[in-house]
Amino acid sequence: MIPPGGIVVAMTERGYTATKEQLIKRLRRIQGQIGGIERMVADDRYCIDVLTQISAVQAALDKVALGLLDDHAHHCVLGAHDGEREEKTDELMSAVGRLMRRG
Amino acid sequence: MIPPGGIVVAMTERGYTATKEQLIKRLRRIQGQIGGIERMVADDRYCIDVLTQISAVQAALDKVALGLLDDHAHHCVLGAHDGEREEKTDELMSAVGRLMRRG
Amino acid sequence: MIPPGGIVVAMTERGYTATKEQLIKRLRRIQGQIGGIERMVADDRYCIDVLTQISAVQAALDKVALGLLDDHAHHCVLGAHDGEREEKTDELMSAVGRLMRRG
Amino acid sequence: MIPPGGIVVAMTERGYTATKEQLIKRLRRIQGQIGGIERMVADDRYCIDVLTQISAVQAALDKVALGLLDDHAHHCVLGAHDGEREEKTDELMSAVGRLMRRG
């Protein structure tokens, strides 16, 4: 069952959409990657190698963000009542703007 | 003591440069933020709120990355032997390119 | 009159949405900025100053892109027939992904 | 002859570095691309196609920016007097920060 306004457990294979379980798994992997970066810093590893790992995490977070945007667009926006769609689309666009400017 | 080619424990207050301890503290905070995002997903929180948190993490990672780039530029590049500076500058620029393209 | 699937001449003051005339005016200003950057390069101006101008152009292009995404989301997606909305949303998300990865 | 602190006419084939002539040629191509985007908007072309062109221009500008950063790092920073290198490295890092945040 899809929670109202929540993250959608989609079973389709379309694009970025991930199930809630897949999203949590991806976020856990990212958390582990950050832990690895911490250890690299603690071990005085070469800064360029640390930076390469940070780029990888940024790319993984972008993928999670695009998946969430995609869910929001397909489910929260298209699934909204007629009166709410404009507002939900504005929210979507604000989120895109924040992601493009990064914070 | 500064490890050769390692992350520099700078005591100055200049710009992005952080001590090793500060970097590890920041990375730990980011790890905690990712854990918070996981819980938001598990609790079916509104996707736009999840995305706002992801943007905040991206901005925090950008800051860590800029701090590491700054250390690399000031210490590894400028502190390198004459024969290694060009190579270390190339590495720096490749890292910048990866960060701009994110991965 | 709004062309089907085309850029919308919106008269509202909402967010990023610009009229076609405003968009063209902005793009012309950006073209002029690029011309200015060309002259800076030709005149051997300091690279950092040239880079500052490039950042300004990137920000201006992001703004145009967000305006177009916003129009697409509000008009092409929400205004589409029921059968086309999913497809138009997929197109929107692909465009967002390309902009986030820059090309 | 290389102007002091100016854009370098490098003859090597290394990485991003471009001659002044190549840079101007690239900027002119970008200016032309923006002109094409203007015409697409004027002709009410599909917003997604316009956005694809904007992504291409952003990628081209990123390439020009990386080329200039690379020149600055190799020539202005490494070629600077000992007393100026730190300052020029700070300028380089500020420019990188502006490019990552886009403006």
Q: State how far the Cα of A102 lies from the Cα of A16, in Å rounded to an integer.
A: 20
Q: State how far the Cα of B25 lies from the Cα of B28, in Å rounded to an integer.
A: 5
| Cβ contact B99–A54 (<8 Å) | yes
Task: Give the C:D interface size as CB pairs under 8 Å.
Answer: 148
**Tokens representing residue D77 in the block:** 């920073």
Are the C-beta atoms of B44 and B13 separated by less than 8 Å? no
With contact defined as 3+ CB pairs under 8 Å, the chains touching D are A, B, C
**pLDDT value, residue B82:** 82
Please compute the mean of the pLDDT values over residues A93-100 and round it to a whole number: 91
**Burial B17-26, CB ≥16 within 10 A → b, else e:** bbebeebbeb
**Tokens representing residue A94 in the block:** 């604000």
Is pLDDT of B5 > 90? Answer: no
Give the closest residue to B98 by CA, choosing from A70, A51, C1, A94.
A51
Are the C-beta atoms of D46 and C6 separated by less than 8 Å? yes
The tens digit of pLDDT for each residue in A9-58 reads 443 334 445 788 999 999 999 999 999 999 999 999 999 999 999 999 99
Q: Provide Rg for chain D, Cα atoms.
A: 17
Straight-line distance from the first to the last Cα atom of chain C, in angstroms, rounded to the nearest whole number: 32
D102 → chain A, closest CA residue: A101
Contacts of C13 (CB under 8 A, 6+ apart): none
B97 in contact with chain D, both atoms CB, cutoff 8 A:
yes
How many Å lie between the alpha carbon of B85 and the closest alpha carbon of chain C? 20
What is the number of other CB atoms lying within 10 angstroms of the CB of residue B66?
22
- At residue B20, the 3 state secondary structure works out as helix
Task: List chain A residues with CB under 8 Å of B28.
Answer: 38
Segments of chain B assigned E as strands:
none
**Burial D48-64, CB ≥16 within 10 A → b, else e:** bebbbebbbbbebbbbb
**Tokens representing residue D91 in the block:** 């300028």
The percent of residues in chain C predicted with pLDDT above 70, rounded, is: 81
C86 in contact with chain D, both atoms CB, cutoff 8 A:
no
**pLDDT value, residue C103:** 60
DSSP C5: T
Confidence of residue C35 (pLDDT cuts 50, 70, 90): very high
Q: How many residues are given for chain B? A: 103
**Tokens representing residue B38 in the block:** 């996981």
**Tokens representing residue A4 in the block:** 């109202």
Residues C48, C53, C56, C58, CA torsion sign: negative
Q: State how far the Cα of C95 lies from the Cα of B89, in Å rounded to an integer.
A: 34
Task: List chain A residues with CB under 8 Å of B58.
Answer: 58, 61-62, 65, 99, 102-103
**How many secondary structure helices (H) and strands (E) does chain C include?**
3, 0
- At residue B19, the 3 state secondary structure works out as coil
Q: Which residue has the higher pLDDT, B74 or D29?
A: D29
- At residue B83, the 3 state secondary structure works out as helix
**Tokens representing residue C50 in the block:** 């040239």
| Cβ contact A100–C73 (<8 Å) | no
D99 → chain B, closest CA residue: B100
The tens digit of pLDDT for each residue in D37-68 reads 999 999 999 999 999 999 999 999 999 999 99
Contacts of D23 (CB under 8 A, 6+ apart): C41, D7, D64, D67, D68
